[in-house]
Structure 1
Amino acid sequence: MKKSKLIVIALTLVALFTFSTITSEASTSKVMWGKTELKKGQIGKVTILKDTPLLHIGKDPSVDGGAVRALKPGEEYRVYSTKTPEGYAPMYNLGGEYYVLQNSKLNGVNVKYETPSKAKLALLEDSSAKVMWGKTELKVGQIGKVTLFADVSTFNADGTSRKEVLPAGGEYRVYTFVLDNHGGGYGLGGGLFVNMDGALKYETPSKSKLALLNK
């Protein structure tokens, strides 16, 4: 009887030790950067210096845009891209359709923008498994991808052309989009855009892929 009790206690201790080890490993897999966790697809972060409006800008910026609430000094938010919606000043994208204005002489200095160090990015790369989607890795902040059927020219968010020509057959992550009188463009990151009406196919990730990414 005593022996069986000892076995039960021993197994319980092993289970508790295993659980605590797993929990510890799960918690250390996060790469913290200041107050927030660094995420894949994140290009930087903003620290709020003064009360700053959080803006929601939808698919049609001319009719679907406005302040949601005020962000408070000391708060930190991930930045996934930069964008200049039609009729607006340059902004930082905080995920989805939410933005804050970049600093300027007109708007004032309301936020501090920083980019992650190489050391932080290396830790992030080691901390999580890749989720492949076709030829490319699915990234946090990515809203879709384009597959090119022919060589495609590129342009900036303001419509000015760029030298880069993307080759046929390539797959590229899409992080944002712009709409204009010519049909608009998909933002591939780094201020690089391709025409929505070009020789390409646009797709959004499945719920199962997103679930794997957000594990």
Structure 2
Amino acid sequence: MKKIMLTIIAFTLMAMFTFGITSEASSTKVMWGKTELKKGQIGKVIILKNTPLLHIGKDPMLDGGAVRELKKGEEYRVYSTKTPEGYFPMYNVGGEYYVVQNSTLNGVNVKFETPSKTKLALLEDSSPKVMWGKTELKVGQIGKVTLSADVATFNADGTSRKEVLPAGGEYRVYTFVSDNHGGAYGLGGGLFVDMHGALKYETPSKSKLALLK
């Protein structure tokens, strides 16, 4: 009886220890300077001089302007960049909020950096996989296609490619284009399939997307 109880206690402790390791590993943060590196982040800005944080809505003439001042030495994640014609580069730090790289009066206001391959590899290793059917859901993915027959592929300009995707396969979709031929889904790497081919297109649920963040 004592031997059985000792075995149960030992098993329980082992399970608790294993769970603790798993929980800790799954919540590991990848720090990059002063901020945590996140999926979907393409870089960060380091504030060199006090500079305004801009809110730029759908109509900048009506919905825009400075909301507060960012202080020298602060760091912010960047999710996209754009350079409107005639303007300096702008960095999106989340939502509709931007900082401008340069100022004609003050010179360079911010420094933009991209994460190293090592940091990106650590982020990939620290993030639990979110499976969606046969494939892993990835940041930037807008949907997937499931093929009901073999499907030919082509380039963005409509020229044919050698790859023929087999029936039953599932493929991530990152973009779609509309044209006079009815449109196509972009599977990444410049590979496209006919939008109206032998396939089924689906978008990820809100619950799946929440797990990905």
Q: Name the residue aligned to 2:78.
A: 79
1:131–1:56 distance in 2 versus 1, CA, 3 Å: farther
Query: In the alignment, which residue of structure 2 is the partner of 1:96?
Result: 95
Q: How does 1:45-194 map to 2 (within 5 A)?
A: 45-84=44-83, 89-128=88-127, 129=129, 138-139=138-139, 146-150=175-179, 168-171=183-186
Q: How far does the alpha carbon of each residue in 1:3-41 deviate from its partner, in whole angstroms, 9 at most, with x for none?
A: 67645643542243123211221233x332112222232
Match of 2:163 in 1: none
Give 3-state SS (helix, strand or coil) of 2:207's partner: helix
The answer to whether the 8 A contact 1:95-1:141 is kept is no
Counterpart in 1 of 2:164?
none
- Name 2:27's counterpart in structure 1: 27
Q: Which has the larger radius of gyration?
A: 2
Q: In structure 1, list runs of 5 or more residues that go unmatched.
A: 152-167, 174-202
Q: Which runs of 5+ in 2 are unaligned?
A: 143-173, 189-201
Aligned residue for 2:146? none
| Partner Cα separation in structure 1 for residue 207 and residue 85 of structure 2 | 33
Query: 1:199 corresponds to which residue?
Result: none
The count of corresponding residues between Structure 1 and Structure 2 is 167
- Find the aligned partners of 1:107 and 1:209 in 2 and give their Cα distance: 45
Q: What is the DSSP-based 3-state SS (H/G/I as helix, E as strand, rest coil) of the residue aligned with 2:58? A: coil
Task: Please state whether the residue corresponding to 1:73 is helix, strand or coil.
Answer: coil
| Distance in 1 (alpha carbons) for counterparts of 2:186 and 2:40 | 16
Alpha-carbon contact 1:42-1:140 (below 8 Å) kept:
no
- Secondary structure of the structure 2 residue equivalent to 1:170: strand
The alpha carbon displacement at 1:60 in A equals 0.9
Residue by residue, what CA displacement relative to the aligned partner does 1:103-146 show, whole Å, maximum 9, x if unpaired? 2444522222111112222333344326669x99642698xx64
Paired with 2:136 and 2:57, the residues of 1 have a C-alpha distance of 27
CA RMSD between the two structures: 3.9
Contact 1:53 1:67 in 2 (8 A): yes
| % identity of equivalent residues | 68
When normalised by structure 2's length, the TM-score is 0.60
SS class of match (1:54): strand
- 3-state SS of paired residue (2:184): coil
Q: Please, what TM-score do these two structures have when normalized by structure 1?
A: 0.60
Q: Which residue of 2 aligns with 1:195?
A: none
Tell me what 2:14 maps to. Answer: 14
1:37 aligns with 2:36: yes
Aligned amino acid, residue 169 of structure 1: A
User: Which amino acid in structure 1 is aligned with residue 184 of structure 2?
Assistant: G
Cα deviation, residue 2, structure 1: 6.2
Mapped to 2, the partners of 1:208 and 1:43 lie a distance apart of 24
